[in-house]
Structure 1
Amino acid sequence: MHSAAPVTPPRVAVLADDLTSAGDGAAPFRRAGHRARVLLSGSPLAGHGQEDGVLAVDLGSRLLDAAAAGDRTREAARALAGAGLLLKTVDSTLRGHVAAEVHAAREGSGRPAVVIAPAFPAEGRTTLAGVQHVRGVRVDESEFARDPAHPVRTADLARILPDAVLVDPDRTELLPELLADGGLFVCSAVTDADLDRIVAAVPDHRAVLWVGSPGLAAALARHHAHPDPSAETGELPPAARPLVAVGSANPATRRQLDLLAAAPGAVSADAADRLRAADTPVRILHTPHERRADPVELTRRLAASVAALADRAPFDGLVLTGGETAEAVLRALGAHGIDLHDEPEPGIARGTLAGPAGLSPVPVVIKAGGFGDDRTLLRLHALLTGGPA
């Protein structure tokens, strides 16, 4: 993370461990009227902050070890400590280096009180007595415990953050008193109304570090609406030849992939060659089903294939699934981030490629691997083309 030059403190800063988390954290604020930009990891922070906008930074830390992830988070939190609202996103299934990054963000930001609320009710992720669930199942007993790249080891936030105080929904009104002396506070929530009550209970939002998933981001955005006519960008043009790039191995995404691949005229492949001559509006590039393959190498190959298609069989829209996939693809295309347009569904961000002069502002939709129902990719493809879902 390059931050030597002075950084203009944005109205809202979002620190995320991968690209989809950065998009998910910023999108609710965009919907609430803020301008919003998402930066890829390694991009200089200087020159992107806006006093009336949202800057979401992909730290790329999920692929690092815990110590390196903490160092990168601490540096970014220090650079953006002046933000009016500082949100450290965490995965709603607790994948990644949650403890290391929360402690590092607290240290870097200088904010002694930390409010942690990882629930994302719109996607069935809830926190009960400090234990994270997905659709009623503990996340460490769900499909996320078998994630080939980032398996979940425990659902118990008291084990992940043993120095934290657990706050149940019926104790939310005690937050002002609890926060006064600093510390970490894990807030349970099962509904959006629970998250709204947590946000409303905190007297000074600038004084705390917020930690949560898109559910908390949405609650904060509802509380900090900022209607700004100058932030309106109009409708994005429909895409005639979009490309769907699927790098997530999550079973939910693979079911979505199978359904999209069965659409009339769809061409689906795990290499670029077969797609170059495909004259169809449904083109899908995906990582192969290789259980023993290195996920990092598969992602690298997928990104290289997308870049090859951009040169030889150009596309005018992108759907990207999986945080590592999205980052690798955008980097291969020469982008340094995304200017957000809207949030078409919970946890899904749509925008245009942002980068050096000459880079075409291609519409792009990014989705975390485990999000959505079986028809999500069909809907997102239709969103780009303007056709029926």
Structure 2
Amino acid sequence: MKLGCIGDDFTGSSDLANTLARGGMRVVQYCGIPAGPAGDDVEAGVVALKSRTIAPEEAVRQSLAALDWLRAQGCTQFLFKYCSTFDSTDRGNIGPVAEALSDALGGGPVVFCPAFPATGRTVYQGHLFVGDRLLSESGMKNHPLTPMRDADLRRVLARQTSRHVGHVAMADVAAGADAIAEAISRENDEGRPFVIVDAISERDLVEIGRAIPDMKLVTGGSGIAMGLPANFGCRAGGADRASGFARPGARAIALAGSVSRATRGQVRAHVAAGQPAFEVRASDVMEGRLDPETLSDWLLAQPGVPLAYSSVEPERVAENQERYGKEAVAGAIENLFAETASVAVARGAGIVICAGGETSGAVVSALGIEALEIGPEIDPGVPALKVGGRELRLALKSGNFGAPDFFLKAARIMGGGDE
């Protein structure tokens, strides 16, 4: 194994695996830290954790354990992957995890670049944009667990770490790999080893990758991985990932736990397309009126691509959190979706489509999945996935990703639904 990656959630990890596979690397996504060694043919291993919103101390512990396993596989460079919207709080977990990984690898400069231009995430003058809006003016300002109300990544990261934070501006990035490398070195020499790097295009991300072939630790969204495979001698245009992937006629179900604008729009589009949809109300879950068996029965009794969703407007989310408690509501809905997926798969569902990082992580854990093969891309940042050793297909979508028809498109690519 050449490149070792640690993802702080399952959807972002599959997004990263997709990027590396497009770059020509042989990739396996591991769901948690594997018990045994990787196969000899794996060039990039992505260890997916569910560590984005847990206590920083536990996120650090899990991430260091993942690092130990990846180092034992022979990796020479490591990538800590987080969301392209830099999802975190003032406690972390981006800063604490990056600091711990850097210390374990002997220090040195570390790049931070969450840019993903294909989905509208760009970094300019150290500020993160979503489309033409600052992060703080996007839907992320109302995220129920990690509300992002500051677009200046230098300030956000500085609140999470004892390291001084530097910046490589667009002028250096536009000048190419050599200028980027020189600017990173300059920031490190001046006592700012954690370096936010601007990027507004895929070319910028490739040049950043070219500038850091020997950097031990790299951090960012999946876009930062675009320039890394070439440093290991890999080239895009390998095997057809769609060949033999689909399961024609497989029963598909969809579960949406994200409250992002994109997912709410996808739910509306799914209903408008005449597909069956079931709103999971927080009050029904918290007060015991809805259980996994009932929801699974409903999903498997429907035609097409049935969807169960808890994706509601921010105002309703806030009301539910005030009434039942933020962590209690989130945990109860995650558990419901996870157990529903487990019951539905046991009863014959062959395709599970998940929207939302926390929901996806809970579902993968409940299904006891150890490793995932990377299949064809559904939408930018979202590949279809095949469960190793099982006839089960998954799509794990970040709440913010995907076209309006995502659920139907995912089912079609993986061979399910009868819409």
With the length of structure 1 as denominator, give the TM-score of the two structures.
0.86
Which residue of 121, 136, 145 corresponds with 1:140?
136
Secondary structure, aligned partner of 1:100? helix
CA distance in 2 between partners of 1:154 and 1:99 (Å):
15
Moved more, 190-199 or 121-130: 190-199
Shift in CA distance, 134/232, structure 1 to aligned 2, threshold 3 Å: closer
Q: How far apart, CA to CA, are the structure 1 residues paired with 2:239 and 2:369?
A: 24
Q: Secondary structure of the residue that 1:158 maps to in structure 2?
A: helix
Measure how far apart 1:153 and its partner are.
Answer: 3.8
1:3 equivalent in structure 2: none
Q: CA deviation at 1:17?
A: 0.6
- Aligned-residue Cα RMSD (Å) equals 2.7
Shift of 1:178: 4.7
Q: Determine if contact 2:76/2:216 at 8 Å carries over to the other structure.
A: no
Q: Residue 170 of structure 1 corresponds to which residue in structure 2?
A: 171
| Corresponding residue number in structure 1 for 2:61 | 71
Residue 309 of structure 2 corresponds to residue 275 of structure 1: no
Query: What's the % identity of the aligned pairs?
Result: 25
1:131 maps to what in 2?
127
Question: Which position in structure 2 is the counterpart of 1:215?
Answer: 223
1:25 correspondence with 2:16: yes
Contact 1:239–1:385 (CA<8 Å) still a contact in 2?
yes
> Residues 108-129 of structure 1: CA distance to partner in whole angstroms, max 9, x if unpaired?
2335221222111111111111
Q: Residues 159-206 of structure 1, C-alpha deviation per residue, up to 9 Å, x if partnerless? A: 13341220012224334335556722211011111112222233xx23
Residues 123 and 346 of structure 1 are in contact (CA less than 8 Å); yes or no, is this contact kept in structure 2?
Answer: yes
Q: Which residue of 1 aligns with 2:408?
A: 378
Q: Distance in 2 between matches of 1:338 and 1:264?
A: 31
Equivalent position of 2:384 in the other structure: 350
What TM-score results when the alignment is normalised by the length of structure 2? 0.80
Q: Displacement, 1:231?
A: 9.0
Aligned with 1:63: secondary structure?
A: coil
Q: 1:261 to 1:120 in 2, by over 3 A?
A: same
Q: Is 1:365–2:367 an aligned residue pair?
A: no
Q: What's the offset of the Cα at 1:381?
A: 2.5
**Deviation by residue 1:289-338 (Cα, 9 ceiling, x = unmatched):** 462151121010111112122223x1121211112211211222221231
Separation in 2 of the partners of 1:167 and 1:369?
A: 29
- 2:344 maps to a residue whose letter is L
CA contact (8 A) 2:209 2:225 kept: no
8 A Cα contact 2:350 2:391, kept in partner: no
Instruction: Please give the residue correspondences for 1:290-369 in structure 2 after superposition, counting only pairs within 5 Å.
Output: 291=317, 292=320, 294-312=329-347, 314-354=348-388, 360-369=390-399
Cα distance in 1 for residues equivalent to 2:21 and 2:311: 35
User: Is the 1:26–1:217 Cα contact (8 Å) retained in structure 2?
Assistant: no
**Alpha-carbon displacement from aligned partner over 1:47-76 (angstroms, at most 9, x marks no partner):** 235464221111211131222222322332
Whether contact under 8 Å (1:266, 1:282) holds in the other structure is yes
Secondary structure of the corresponding residue to residue 373 of structure 2: strand
The offset of 1:256, in angstroms, is 0.2
Alpha-carbon spacing, 1:52–1:170, altered in 2? closer, same or farther (3 Å): same
For structure 1, the 5+ residue unaligned runs are: 1-9
**Cα distance in 2 between the residues matched to 1:222 and 1:235:** 27
Tell me: CA distance 1:382–1:51, structure 2 relative to 1, closer, same or farther (3 Å): closer
Which is further off, 369-378 or 87-96?
369-378
Q: Secondary structure at the match of 1:140?
A: helix
C-alpha displacement of 1:226: 4.6
- The equivalences for 1:219-234 within 5 A come to 219-221=227-229, 224=232, 225-226=234-235, 234=243
Quickly say closer, same or farther: Cα 1:176–1:45, change in 2 above 3 A.
Answer: farther
Aligned to 2:7: 16
Counterpart AA for 1:335: I
C-alpha spacing 1:388/1:315, structure 2 compared with 1 (3 Å) = closer
Residue 92 (structure 1) aligned to one of 65, 79, 84: 84
Q: Which runs of 5+ in 2 are unaligned?
A: 159-163, 281-294, 322-328
Q: CA deviation at 1:269?
A: 5.3
Measure the CA separation in 2 of the matches of 1:165 and 1:265. Answer: 49
Quote how far apart the aligned CAs of 1:26 are: 1.4
User: Is the partner of 2:377 in helix, strand or coil?
Assistant: strand
SS of aligned partner of 1:161:
helix
Q: Does the 8 A contact of 2:26 with 2:41 survive in 1?
A: no
CA distance in 1, matches of 2:39, 2:106: 20
- Is 2:151 the counterpart of 1:155? yes
Equivalent pairs, count? 371
| Letter aligned with residue 282 of structure 1 | V
